[in-house]
Structure 1
Amino acid sequence: MTDTEPEADDSIDSSEPDYTSTELMVTTAARELRDDESVLVGVGVPNLACNLAKRTHAPNLRMIYESGTIDSNPSSLPLSIGDPVLATGAVGVVPMFEGFSKYLQGGRIDVGFLGGAQIDRYGNINSTVIGDYEDPAVRLPGSGGACEIASNAHRTLVITPHQKRRFPEEVDFVTSPGYVDGREGREELGLRGGPEAIITDLAVMRFDEDGELYAETLHPGVSRDEVQNATGWTLAFADDVETTPTPDTEDLRLLREELDPDGVYLE
């Protein structure tokens, strides 16, 4: 290298924070939440997203956990829905039955987080079996409260890795209904709300007027081909596909120093 040649790193913008794909999914999910909403929270990545939202743009977000804690403010990272830390600062602790009947089935939950082994083009989720129900290749944990959340929350969000086996054109078993076979299918069943967004490690997908998934934004450095190759049907893309906003420095500080300092879910 001569004296006139630039150093290899001179063109790198050091102001752009480094982040992992999980941190990007968490911050993207957090931005979907609005102040004054009630959200039925799960542990793991959804829990991080809700607590990040509450510490940033949604201070009045009311977090409700399946175990029955109402408006929780956990003082540390909960490791299960039965973790006593969830009662920290809660306005109430009710039986699980009341949480599901009065709050969820009563239409008092704005947002629910879901996940599953398979998600199809209409947002139906399978967490029951892979293969034939009577003779499955894999027996999965089942619904838990997922079917009730999918059926009764005013809107649902899904966070999941983007892999072709996770996104078949049709799920092997409908554990939690999305738009069934289109928006009219969900309406015919009399279900409240419906899925709003699916956030993966490649893209953010939403649902069109027919209730079918399309890619709205692609994460930095991700191509359309990468997303399509990880999807089991011909996926539609928005007319003007944009790049998913990245985590900012404060997002990353909160996640790494306050919400998950031991890297339980971020690593």
Structure 2
Amino acid sequence: MTVSTDYTAQEIIVVAGAKVLEDNKIVFVGTGLPMVASLLASRTHAPGLIPVFEAGAVGPPLKHGLPVSVGDSRTFTGASYVKGLNGAFELTQRGFADFGFIGGAEVDMYGNLNSTMMGDFPAGYQKPKVRLPGSGGASDMAASCERTILIVPHDKKKFNEKLSYVTSPGHLDGSPNARYNAGMQGKGPYRLITTKGIFDFEEKTKRMRLIQMFPGETVESIQAATGFELLIADNVTEFPAPTVEEVRLIREEIDPNGVFVKRAAK
């Protein structure tokens, strides 16, 4: 396969997210890049991937274009069944969602996500520095899906030891059985994909750990862009650049209008 030399940061995130997804698994898909990554996975190595959307559609083939929201009519076309929002979340609470795929604006070392507000909480909640979109169904997905895949742009202002607000729970404080003691059934964050690399969460401490770097990055450059100390895997590897075919699929078939994957300025 020919490797592309013409790809954007968003495109390598999409490719990395797609490769984390496995064939014949159920993925609860959030809005945005998770949609693009799920479509790419289903068109490459995971044709049996079963997407679930918050508005209630389960298993649509998504042959009529990229949905622009979880309630887009394209998520319902050809779906195995549609049961509404309550039915979708009931499915996750019964343990039938292998992956939850969500994004956020801020993350800490235990994979807790903030997509609500930036500023001092609770005093600044009504007048935050930045008001973010909020949870939607992300908090429920983070609590109940078997494993979650997170997407966060890599920036020192977004990778903080303490979040302004915890919207979607990760491994909480990292203590043993923290999620179980809080009443959550899912295992929590499985992978974090950023604009610099891919991370997992170390089994004992539940702390964020670098496992793969994107081309052009080093352990030092990634740590310098992170507001807390990262764990580093013993065998960190370089994630391969997207192939020409993967980039073509994203640009020409999956998101040709650049709804979620923006084109580089010429």
The TM-score normalised by the length of structure 1 is 0.90
1:156 alignment counterpart: 148
> Which shifted more, 156-165 or 234-243?
234-243
1:134 deviates by 3.0
Question: Is structure 2 residue 39 aligned with structure 1 residue 51?
Answer: yes
Percent of residue pairs identical: 41
- Higher Rg: 1
Question: Is structure 2 residue 222 aligned with structure 1 residue 222?
Answer: no
Question: Is structure 2 residue 175 aligned with structure 1 residue 187?
Answer: no
> Which shifted more, 205-214 or 184-193?
184-193
5+ residue gaps, structure 1, are 1-14
1:168 alignment counterpart: 160
1:183 deviates by 5.0
Deviation string for 1:107-144 (max 9, x for gaps)? 11110111222110001112223222232333333222
Question: Is structure 2 residue 72 aligned with structure 1 residue 83?
Answer: yes
* SS at 1:51 equivalent: helix
Answer whether contact 2:108 2:162 (CA < 8 A) is retained. Answer: yes
1:262 alignment counterpart: 257
* SS at 2:122 equivalent: coil
The TM-score normalised by the length of structure 2 is 0.90
- Number of aligned residues: 252
1:239 alignment counterpart: 234
1:150 deviates by 0.6
Residue among 170, 173, 176 paired with 1:178: 170
Task: Provide the alpha-carbon RMSD of the alignment.
Answer: 1.4
Answer whether contact 1:28 1:245 (CA < 8 A) is retained. Answer: no
2:56 alignment counterpart: 68
The runs of at least 4 aligned residues of structure 1 exceeding 3 Å deviation read none
Larger RCO, structures 1/2 (Cα 8 Å, 6+ apart): 2
Question: Is structure 2 residue 45 aligned with structure 1 residue 25?
Answer: no
1:35 deviates by 0.8
1:203 alignment counterpart: 197
Deviation string for 1:63-119 (max 9, x for gaps)? 111111110122111111221111122111211111112x11111111011122211
